[in-house]
Amino acid sequence: MISDLDAQTTEKALMLTLDGEKVSFEAGETIYEVAERHRREIPTLCYDERLEAFGACRLCIVEVEGIRNPVASCTTQATEGMVIQTKTEAIEKHRKTLLELVASENRDVDVNQLSGYASQELKILVDRYDARSGRFSGKKSGTSNTKDKNPFILRDYDNCISCYRCVRVCAEREGDYAINVMNRGFDTQIITEFNNDLRDSECTFCGQCVQTCPTGALGDKKALRDSDTEGEIEKTRTICPYCGVGCSVDMLSKGDKIVGIQPAMDGPANEGALCIKGQFAFDFIQNADRLKKPMIRREDGELHECDWDEALNFAAAGFAKVRDKFGRHSVYGIASGRAPHEAAYTMQKYIRATYGTNYIDNCSRA
Amino acid sequence: MPSESNAALISRWKDEPAPLLPLLHDFHNRDGYLSEETIRDVAEGLGIPLAELFGTVTFYHHFSREAPGKSAPRVCTGNICCLHGGNELLESLKEDGATPMPCAGRCDDMIPVIIDDKAFVGKTKDSLVHRATPMPAENPGGITECVFSQIREEGRSTLDGYRATGGYAALEKALKGTPGEVIETVSESKLAGRGGAGFPTGFKWKAVADAPGDPKCIVCNADEGEPGCFKDRTIMDHDPFAVIEGMTLAAFATGAPLGFIYLRYEYPETEAILENAIEDARANGLLGENILGSGLTFHLYVRRGAGAYICGEEGSLLNSLEGKHPFPRNKPPFPVTHGFNDKPTAVNNVETLASVPHIVANGAEWYQGLGLGDLAGTKVISLSGDVQRPGNYEVPFGLPLNTLIHEWAGGPPEGRTVQAVTMAGLSGGFVGGDLSEITLDDGCLKSRGSFLGAGGIMVFDDSRNMVEAAHNAMEFFAHESCGKCFPCRIGTQRITERLNGATPNLTHEEWLAEIDDIGSTMKSTSACGLGMAAPHVTESLVRYFPEQVEAHLSKES
Amino acid sequence: MSNPLADMEKPDVIFAIGTNMTECHPVAATRLKRALTAGATMIVADPRQTRLAKMAHLHLPIRVGSDVALLLAMAHVIQREGLIDASFIEERTAGGNEFLQHVKEFTPEWASDICEVPAADIEKAGLLYGKGNPSAIYYTLGITEHICGVDNVQSLCNLALMTGNLGVEGGGINPMRGQNNIQGAGDCGAVPNNFPGFQPCDHPESTEKFSKLYQTEIDGTKGITKVTALDNCGKGIHAMLIDGENTVVTDPDKNHCEHALKSLDHLVVIDIFMTETAQLADVVFPATAWGETDGVQTNTERRVQRLRAAVPPVGEAKPDWWIVSEIAKRMGVPGFEYESARDVFNELCELSPIYAGLDWDRIEDSEYQWPVPDRDHPGTPRLHEKEFKNGRGKFTVVGYRDPAEVISDEFPLWLTTGRRLEAYHSRTQTGRSAGIEYLLSHESLEVHPDDAEALGLVHGGMAKMASARGEIEIEVKVTDMSPQGTVFTSFSFAEVPVNILTGSGYDPVTQTAELKVCPVRVEPA
């Protein structure tokens, strides 16, 4: 009996009080994580759930009974019996002041959505807290890097708020440690070593810094080419077409035009990561070189565009002729390792069902 | 002698504990600055990402990246030096490439100018001299001293002199007993951190002793960066073995075989004094292995900072030691469980550690009895500014402020009265108005919105412009803000702008409201003490000197 | 991969061999980097000093094509030091005794001569891998593109089997697939030896099953491989249907390949661009591209994922499946009346035991890794957890063989080829994406400084590089990325058709080409 009781006690869920509500939590969870699970919508700017909590923006502060100052909920572990208030008048006032301060150091709060996945975070919070008051005016922080002419990553540090998400994602997620912070205090500036161009650094242009930037200070230059293109941005979830890792991406389009790629933060293979190819090498799709009509080789020995019926009949007749002349083992199929299943499946079915052979392969031997 | 190659320097330090700072200093000493090639080689040699190392180097005020670099004069433009011609001296040295530096901890012997590894003093270019740190004045109150009790004895700073004046008696006594007994004595003495935070020392040591993880570590925080504080310099320069013995006692008490003295850049002579003292101690079986034949092992190293106030914050200090970007760390976990290299670490101030041998030798009760009334112990106060005899004074807790200023230090200059004092260097802000009821203990000071902190008190007489003083103070905090947390990074900048006339469009009410909102948010939400303390300056300015604020704003508009 | 990508953050010891992962599978490499941060130890075997090699605790710059020798010697060390997992060998494997006996003669000293790395490092690698708990193996084409590719893979299996590193979290043998759906092409049966779902062509019951389903009599034997088919063009093979492959550029021995395709009576190519291969075709069909196509692909960890169309196709482009089906229908073949990609995929699921629990709607959230044998099955992130597919894991006794061609006075340098981060394959895609040229505008040959000096080559100058099959011109890049005696370039640039030189031999089992080893001569141009 006693041991049963003991077991019950040790298994008893850990509990704390969140805005007056008793809630359970797991050992090791931070206050922020517990509060998020209970839909508290605590504001943050330096938080990215994939990164170690950093505690820079202080927007996620909450009051904890028995502790004099508010604590940053992202870096504070929940403990048994904690009594937490997430949204008191004092806390909300501090948040508004913090947002007014942040707004005061930047050139723009409103940036184009094409800048990156998280680019609207500051704008959304500034609006939620009605923090466009223009208070606390003064010197702006950060200096845009206009000398780096790389075609992918905009480095508009006039809009940087020194949350270090870019630095941290580069180190903790990408493992490249290409960027860091120079100087200190209000003069902090995100840089590569010796403040060089990204091309001359360890940067691999994976774009993770762009996608985690909450202000658009780092922006997707390729996507931003279409800032003025007509139409709403549509997002379509798909999978990267390059290597075998199978990263989940959201394809961004405006009307019939593909304008950019964003990584899927919940993609099982990549968890928000991409590489230069997946992130930036997408526009081949709508390149002018694309084949637009079927072509057949005519008597002049050249390929000429034609309509589908003619081409399909020509192709089918050609196969039939070879089969009839040389037998069913004279036709071979090579499927693609780049096209979807449906292509490979129909290819092998075509060979097997038409010729009764296993004369089918794919490009994996190259 | 030909200078050593990059490879030779790197291989010398590579496998030493906490190698980055000493290695960078070696390069800084060799070339006068840290070249791009040096930074690349160090990054490669120590396995630090290049961008990170570059960022870290730029964090420190005193690391130059181009000639003339280290040999160019750095002139103190701290609050007190500014009142005595700091800016003018800087101007006169401009042709030599002089740059300003924040308070360099020589407010009792102004104005410090650091050239290479020498701290000169003097008020004009032609009167600069190189001389030793002033000795504390002869116990003007005739009290029972602790830290200063033997410091003035002849030869105290040598090992022989130290031993001749009772040094190492405490360690010998302690080694006959158990580590637990040392912790008990220190706990019972009620000794608390003398660096400003006032955390009970015995409690900290017990936590380290009990925490799992090896090797444990003792760190002496000698990054005395608080403006108006220069007590640790005096202690280290004139009684270095007291610090070393205190650290050895801490090592014995906690089971730490490794220790560092993290010394601020601005005390180059002190570095040599400490290095020599450590060498002497090591040579005489008082450091290293099998100390005094007891089997105790304690390896002690000096690591010199490079100019960053925030490195006095223990998380930043530990990051700096480890060769990381010196941002403060999030707490918990605290250093007692996750300190240097994530191992249990006691970080103690110089004065705290220097008190320990006296406490262990004389007993906990003796120490407790040193304060006035119910207050235990003593505190060294660095008194500077508009007083006749600035300097370090060891005071019993509870001593009236006026006794210190007027009786011990001779009061303000002839014909002047005291308008205000700062507390805790700058971190406690100003205390103005009627000072007669103020006693030097946190109970009293708290009621005036301040605290004793590290014990720096700057005196401003009635001729001083307090808005200017506040501006100078806030400029310091803005300069030293590490840039990690938003309220401090932006707040210190915005307050500075509001004190230097950069916001002429604000109405008086708007100005006050902005100052109040920024200050309140900084105090409540900043990630470390810097941002929490800085608003005391404006808070107390507005509280005690509204008419000077009014004048400032009228001038502005 | 035997294990999921997520497991790449969990090994104790990482053994990466023949994989330039930070360039070829950059996102997977980020997981290894995180494992390193968390304290894992990494061994990298690669002739070149790749970024991965620089991160390694132990880098073995082995001579190209000497992998089997290295792996045998590592097995020797593991056996000698008693680091084997005896109970795993006993309970779950076959052929263990013979193998353990076999490795006794292959000492690190023996391998050192072949691999050209110190015996002590081989010893260390064996100890590290043997002691790791768990140890995980990662490899790519640096292992398979050899005449002994199968031996290489089997040698890796032997290591994992003898140490019980299969079926465990953070362990396994993990080939990183190079193309987005190369795994899927195999899953779908686009191979000469298997029907969809790896049902063998030479098993009567599968042949019968598919003959019935496809309403025709299918051969009960494996088909020939692509390599053989290309060899036989004009001599038995007279027509080809090629879907989305630039065979002429990416396959070895370019001249041979081009000649083969030209000798066909009928070549039909489906692609999105007018590739070098399409230019030889009699009919070229414009396929819809990524972003225009609904479909499914399987990644390297066997995760079955949905592709979705975001924009309408360019011009009159059509999905590959539609084009193939139309050709079939016009030849009177039944069973191609599909209306959508969904119809095709659902048919595949019905016929394929590893997909039996899936259909178009169930893969919406990318949550399944095959095999998914039935509707209630959660999928299989980790293979071989309880048992191997065929009961027991089989040790294979393998021996070292020299590459098909070895260096000689005439061709004194080893050429090895690979990819670069910014370019993909023959650059039909990356070459048409804006900005990539800013980072990688042209190809160059990486030559060790000592070799450059000996050969009179200068950085930035041009060189002639010749093999037994041909000669190309290429710019020289002097770097210590490659060891002395070995040069490297990628096969991505049409201007530098390196596959004119390659093609010295093929693995006898898989007929994978030995693209990673080719003796060459390099001289100033």
pLDDT tens string C180-210: 999 999 999 999 999 999 999 999 999 999 9
Check whether C220 has a pLDDT greater than 80.
yes
Q: For residue range C20-32, what is the model confidence (pLDDT) as tens digits?
A: 999 999 999 999 9
In chain A, positions 74-113, which contact chain B (CB-CB < 8 Å)? 75, 77, 90, 93-94, 97-98, 101-102, 104-105
CB C514 within 8 A of CB C146: yes
Residue A4: pLDDT above 70? no
B325 with A72: Cβ contact below 8 A = no
% of chain C exceeding 70 in pLDDT: 100
In whole angstroms, give the CA distance from residue C385 to residue C303.
Answer: 17
**Whether the predicted pLDDT of A9 surpasses 80:** no
Rounded CA separation C78/B54 (Å): 43
Count CB pairs under 8 A between chains A and B. 155
Please provide the CATH number assigned to the domain covering B159-368.
3.40.50.11540
What top-level class would CATH report for the domain B466-556?
Answer: mainly alpha
What is the mean pLDDT of the segment spanning B225-248? 98
A228: left (phi over 0), alpha (psi -120 to 50) or beta: alpha
B58 with A141: Cβ contact below 8 A: no
Mean pLDDT value across residues C216-239: 95
> C222 pLDDT band (50/70/90 cuts)?
very high
Which chain C residues contact residue A224 at CB under 8 A? none
Q: What percent of chain B has pLDDT over 70?
A: 99
Neighbouring C-alpha atoms within 13 Å toward the C-beta of B79:
36
Task: Give the residue among C38, C15, C2 at the shortest CA–CA distance from C129.
Answer: C15
Name the closest residue on chain A to residue C261, using Cα atoms: A332
Structural fold of domain B378-461 = Ubiquitin-like (UB roll) (3.10.20)
pLDDT for the residue numbered B556: 58
- Mean pLDDT, all residues of chain A: 94
Cα–Cα–Cα angle for C194, C196, C202, rounded to 5 degrees: 30
Q: What is the mean pLDDT of residues A113-127?
A: 97
Q: What is the pLDDT of residues C284-334, one digit of tens each?
A: 999 999 999 999 999 999 999 999 999 999 999 999 999 999 999 999 999
pLDDT at site B229: 97
| Pick from A281, A308, A326: CB nearest C430 | A281
Mutate to test the interface with C, among A250, A258, A346 (most CBs of C within 10 A): A346
- What does the pLDDT look like over B343-367, one tens digit per residue? 999 999 999 999 999 999 999 999 9
Per-residue pLDDT for A347 more than 50?
Answer: yes
Tens digit of pLDDT for each residue in C354-384?
A: 999 999 999 999 899 999 999 999 999 998 8
Confidence band of C495 (pLDDT split at 50, 70, 90)? confident
Q: Which residues of A touch C34 (CB under 8 A)?
A: 172-173, 175
CB contact under 8 A, C225 and A365: yes
Q: What is the pLDDT of residues C461-487, one digit of tens each?
A: 999 999 999 999 999 999 999 899 999
Percent of chain B at pLDDT above 90? 95
Residue B376, pLDDT > 90, answer no
Cβ-defined contact of A284 to C347 (cutoff 8 Å) = no
Nearest to A222 among C295, C335, C434 (CB): C434
The pLDDT value given to residue B3: 77
CB contact under 8 A, A191 and B525: no
DSSP symbol at B473: H
The Cα A332–Cα C232 span in angstroms is 10
Average pLDDT over residues A81-100: 98
Domain residue ranges of chain B, discontinuous segments joined by +: 6-59, 72-130, 159-368, 378-461, 466-556
How many CB atoms are closer than 10 A to CB A159? 26
The single-letter code of the amino acid at B219 is V
pLDDT tens digits, A123-148:
999 999 999 999 999 999 999 999 99
pLDDT of residue A5: 46
Question: Higher pLDDT residue, B509 or A4?
Answer: B509
SS3 letters for C65-98?
A: CCHHHHHHHHHHHHHHCCCCCHHHHHHHEECHHH
Q: Which residue ranges form the domains of chain A, and what is each CATH number?
A: 2-87 (3.10.20.740), 99-286 (3.30.70.20), 295-365 (no CATH)
| 3-state secondary structure (DSSP) of residue C472 | strand
All domains of chain C in start order, with CATH: 5-176 (3.40.228.10), 178-221+296-374 (3.40.50.740), 224-286 (3.40.228.10), 413-524 (2.40.40.20)
Which residue in A has a C-alpha nearest to residue B487's C-alpha?
Answer: A98
Range in C9-18, C170-179, C369-378, C417-426 with the lowest mean pLDDT? C417-426
What's the mean pLDDT in C136-155? Answer: 93
Indicate the pLDDT class of residue B1, thresholds 50, 70 and 90.
very low
Token reading at C179: 């193309």
Q: Which CATH class is domain B72-130?
A: alpha beta
ipTM over 0.85: yes
pLDDT band at residue C513 under the 50/70/90 scheme: confident
**What are the chain A neighbours of C338 within 8 Å (beta carbons)?**
346
Say if residue A7's pLDDT is above 60: no
Cis ω on the peptide bond leading into residue B333 (within 30° of 0)? yes
Q: What is the pLDDT of residue A129?
A: 98
Least confident stretch, B148-157, B475-484, C377-386: C377-386
If DSSP states are collapsed to H, E and C, what string results for C261-297?
A: HHCCCEEEEEECCCCCCHHHCCEEEEECCCCCCCEEE
Nearest CA in chain C to A172: C34
Contact flag C271-A291 (C-beta cutoff 8 Å)? yes
What would the pLDDT profile of B431-449 be if each residue is shown by its tens digit?
999 999 999 999 999 999 9
Distance, in Å, from the CA atom of A126 to the CA atom of B325, rounded to the nearest integer, reads 30
Residue A171 to residue B49, Cβ atoms within 8 A: yes
Q: Is the CB of residue A351 less than 8 Å from the CB of residue A357?
A: yes
Cα separation, C439 vs A205, whole angstroms: 10
Contact C2, C173 (CB under 8 A): yes
Quick one: pLDDT band at residue B557, thresholds 50, 70, 90? low
Which residues from chain B sit within 8 angstroms of residue A69, using beta carbons?
523-525, 532
pLDDT-derived band at A11 (thresholds 50, 70, 90) equals: low
Neighbours of chain C (3+ CB pairs under 8 A): A
Question: Cα C346 vs. chain centroid, distance in angstroms?
Answer: 28
Neighbouring CB atoms inside 10 A of B181's CB total 14
At B202-230, the pLDDT tens digits run 999 999 999 999 999 999 999 999 999 99
Find the largest Cα–Cα distance for chain C: 67
